[in-house]
C-alpha cells in the first residue's frame, strides 16, 4: 500500500497503532545496525535506507541505491533487505539464522513479510543489516549495473 508521507515521522503517524509500534521497533533495529554512510529517507512510499546519490550518482534509474526499507502493506508489513540479496552467502546466512530462530520465514523476492512483530526475529534482522558493508553493497550494485549495460548492448546488436 503506497504512502505519500513526506517524512518518516509523517509515515509512522499515518499507521494504525499496532503497525506503528511494529514498524518503529524494526526501524530501531535497522538504524542501530546500519553501516556508516547509509541515510534514512522516504522513497518509493516507504521508509528507505539508501546510499546517497552524492556517494553513488550513476544508478540505473537515477534513484539512490536502496540498502533496506520498511513498509506497511495492505495485508502485512515488509522488511526489504536489499543488501543481502546481492550476495548468495549473505542470503544463505540470513535464511539459516532465521531457521535457527524458530520463526516462520515468509520471504518474497526482496522482502520479509510479517503480520505481527512477534513473528519477526529482530536479532536476525539486525545481523542481516550489519552483515553487508556499504563498500560491499556498492560493489554489488556496480556489478549489477555492468551486467545490465552489457545485456542491453547484446540485445541492441
Q: What is the mean pLDDT of each run of 10 residues along the chain (157 residues)?
A: 78 95 97 96 94 87 92 94 89 96 91 94 97 90 70 56
What pLDDT is recorded for position 56?
Answer: 85
In a domain, 48, yes or no: yes
What pLDDT is recorded for position 89?
Answer: 93
SS (H, E, C) 82-151: HHHHHCHHHHHHHHHHHHHHCCCCCECCCEEEECCHHHCCHHHHHHHHHCCCHHHHHHHHHHHHHHHHHH
What pLDDT is recorded for position 78?
Answer: 96
Confirm whether pTM is higher than 0.85: yes
- What are the two backbone dihedrals, phi and then psi, of residue 61, each rounded to the nearest 5 degrees? -125, 5
In a domain, 152, yes or no: yes
What pLDDT is recorded for position 85?
Answer: 86
87, 95 contact by CB (below 8 A):
no
In a domain, 95, yes or no: yes
Range of the domain at 72: 8-156
What pLDDT is recorded for position 148?
Answer: 60
What's the grid cell of residue 37? 554512510
Q: CATH no. for residue 91?
A: 3.90.1150.200
Q: Which of 103, 126, 117 is nearest to 49 (CA)?
A: 126
The number of distinct structural domains making up the chain is: 1
In a domain, 3, yes or no: no
* DSSP one-letter code for 5: -
In a domain, 2, yes or no: no
In a domain, 115, yes or no: yes
In a domain, 1, yes or no: no
What pLDDT is recorded for position 16?
Answer: 95
For residues 33 and 68, what is the distance between their CA atoms, to the nearest angstrom? 11
Amino acid at each position: 500500500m503506497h504512502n505519500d508521507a513526506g517524512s518518516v515521522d509523517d509515515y509512522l503517524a499515518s499507521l494504525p497503532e499496532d503497525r506503528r509500534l511494529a514498524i518503529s521497533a524494526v526501524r530501531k533495529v535497522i538504524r542501530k545496525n546500519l553501516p556508516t554512510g547509509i541515510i534514512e529517507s522516504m522513497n518509493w512510499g516507504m521508509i528507505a535506507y539508501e546510499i546517497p546519490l552524492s556517494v553513488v550518482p550513476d544508478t540505473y534509474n537515477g534513484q539512490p541505491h536502496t540498502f533496506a526499507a520498511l513498509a506497511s502493506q495492505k495485508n502485512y508489513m515488509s522488511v526489504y533487505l536489499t543488501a543481502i540479496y546481492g550476495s548468495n552467502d549473505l542470503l544463505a546466512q540470513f535464511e539459516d539464522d532465521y531457521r535457527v530462530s524458530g520463526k516462520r520465514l515468509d520471504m518474497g523476492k526482496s522482502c520479509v513479510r510479517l503480520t505481527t512483530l512477534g513473528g519477526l526475529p529482530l536479532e536476525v534482522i539486525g545481523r542481516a543489516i550489519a552483515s553487508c558493508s556499504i563498500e560491499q553493497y556498492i560493489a554489488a550494485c556496480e556489478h549489477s549495473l555492468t551486467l545490465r549495460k552489457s545485456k542491453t548492448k547484446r540485445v541492441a546488436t
